[in-house]
């Protein structure tokens, strides 16, 4: 089975490399020529357009920043739709609006092409070691054909429902992650301002009910002052905005998300949008006039 992979960013590049390591035949495409060259050096083929990727692939994976990028790459000029054969499967692993997932799927279906939306969670470290959590929406028959491919990139792969359900699940995930990061930031700034060692606070609570994967991943980075992006603040703003839009469409209150996105937007306006989302603590530090470090 030949796989096309479009989008070789922070997440896509290691995901594509894991497919190569697993022995899959891969053809790649990205606007970043250096990323393409790196994959080619690892054994992949390349194609200059998404259409040409699709023409030679049974499965086409996209890993792109947001909804407009997916629509352009899949449905635009020289896009996936123009090259995909009837019976091929598109797996969009981007985190986008579930409404857009359904629109793109409906267009592909006109040409006999099935689609899954399969966003991921885990950030760059889990993309590198192939242990992402992958949340999948779409037809069961398509999922069954590509489940083994997804398991190369993910430690858990779950079909959660019809097309769009994967991105609904990802939005729920991003709300929970943002809330965890905000809670961690608020707590560690409080401890620091009250003259309690934040590292000792972290070590004291991590084994109790307050412990979480988010806390274990982000607190050490914060304590080291390391905001190198595994997942950028600007991308989390995008996800939370998609969550707010979806919540409005189904009439659900999301006050925590509203507060968190405003803090993230303030940081982005201060030039920190490319920091890791754990850098949210910098909003609290600025307000409290204290710095949380070891």
Are residues 187 and 255 both part of a single domain?
A: yes
Going by the DSSP 8-state scheme, the letter that residue 224 receives in this structure is T
pLDDT reading at 230 higher than 90: no
pLDDT reading at 123 higher than 90: no
Binning pLDDT at 50, 70 and 90, where does residue 106 land?
A: very high
Going by the DSSP 8-state scheme, the letter that residue 277 receives in this structure is G
Q: Phi then psi for 123, rounded to 5 degrees?
A: 70, -175
Active site residues: 170
Are residues 14 and 91 both part of a single domain?
A: yes
pLDDT reading at 2 higher than 90: yes
Judge contact between 164 and 262, C-beta under 8 A.
no
Are residues 136 and 195 both part of a single domain?
A: no
Mean per-residue pLDDT over the chain, rounded: 97
> Which three-class secondary structure state does DSSP give residue 86?
coil
pLDDT reading at 81 higher than 90: yes
Read off the pLDDT of residues 24-58 as tens digits, 9 standing for 90 and up: 999 999 999 999 999 999 999 999 999 999 999 99
Where are any strands of DSSP class E within 11-147?
25-29, 45-46, 59-62, 89-92, 114-117, 120-121, 132-137
pLDDT reading at 275 higher than 90: yes
Provide the pLDDT for residue 278. 97
Are residues 236 and 94 both part of a single domain?
A: no
Choose one of 106, 136, 162: the last residue of a domain: 162
Read off the pLDDT of residues 259-269 as tens digits, 9 standing for 90 and up: 999 999 999 99
Are residues 202 and 216 both part of a single domain?
A: yes
Judge contact between 173 and 121, C-beta under 8 A.
yes
Choose one of 137, 162, 187: the last residue of a domain: 162
Going by the DSSP 8-state scheme, the letter that residue 59 receives in this structure is E
**Per the structure, how many domains does the chain have?**
2
CATH code for the domain in which residue 184 is found: 1.10.1040.10
**Mean pLDDT to the nearest integer, 66-85:** 97
CB atoms within 10 A of CB 226: 13
pLDDT reading at 214 higher than 90: yes
Cα–Cα distance, 174 to 7 (Å, whole number): 21
Are residues 111 and 89 both part of a single domain?
A: yes
CATH code for the domain in which residue 9 is found: 3.40.50.720
| Residue % of the chain over a pLDDT of 90 | 98
CB atoms within 10 A of CB 286: 14
**Mean pLDDT to the nearest integer, 86-105:** 96
**Mean pLDDT to the nearest integer, 60-86:** 97
Class of residue 2 by CB neighbours under 10 A (exposed 0-12, middle 13-18, buried 19+)? middle
Are residues 137 and 222 both part of a single domain?
A: no
Ramachandran bin of 104, using left for φ above 0, alpha for ψ from -120 to 50, beta for the remaining angles: alpha
Choose one of 127, 162, 197: the last residue of a domain: 162
Domain that holds residue 116: 2-162
pTM of the model: 0.91
């Amino acid at each position: 089975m030949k796989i096309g992979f479009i989008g070789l960013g922070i997440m896509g590049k290691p995901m594509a490399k894991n497919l190569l390591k697993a022995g899959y035949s891969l053809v790649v495409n990205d606007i970043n020529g250096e990323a393409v060259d790196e994959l080619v050096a690892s054994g992949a083929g390349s194609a200059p357009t998404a259409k040409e990727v699709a023409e030679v692939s049974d499965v086409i994976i996209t890993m792109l920043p947001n909804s407009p990028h997916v629509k352009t790459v899949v449905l635009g000029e020289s896009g996936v739709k123009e090259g995909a054969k009837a019976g091929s499967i598109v797996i969009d692993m981007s985190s986008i609006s579930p409404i857009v997932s359904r629109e793109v799927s409906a267009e592909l279906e006109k040409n006999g092409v099935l689609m899954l939306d399969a966003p991921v969670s885990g950030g760059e470290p889990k993309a590198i070691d192939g242990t992402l959590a992958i949340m999948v929406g779409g037809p069961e028959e398509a999922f069954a054909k590509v489940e083994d491919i997804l398991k190369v990139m993910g430690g858990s792969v779950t079909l959660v429902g019809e097309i769009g359900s994967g991105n609904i699940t990802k939005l729920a995930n991003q709300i929970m992650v943002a809330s965890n990061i905000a809670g961690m930031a608020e707590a560690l700034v409080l401890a620091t301002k009250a003259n309690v060692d934040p590292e000792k606070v972290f070590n004291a609570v991590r084994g109790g009910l307050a412990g979480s994967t988010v806390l274990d991943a982000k607190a050490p980075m914060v304590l080291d002052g390391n905001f190198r992006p595994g997942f950028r603040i600007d991308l989390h703003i995008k996800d939370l905005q998609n969550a707010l839009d979806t919540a409005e469409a189904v009439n659900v209150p999301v006050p925590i998300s509203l507060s968190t996105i405003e803090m993230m937007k303030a940081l982005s306006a201060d030039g920190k949008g490319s920091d890791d989302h754990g850098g949210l603590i910098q909003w609290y530090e600025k307000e409290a006039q204290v710095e949380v470090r070891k």
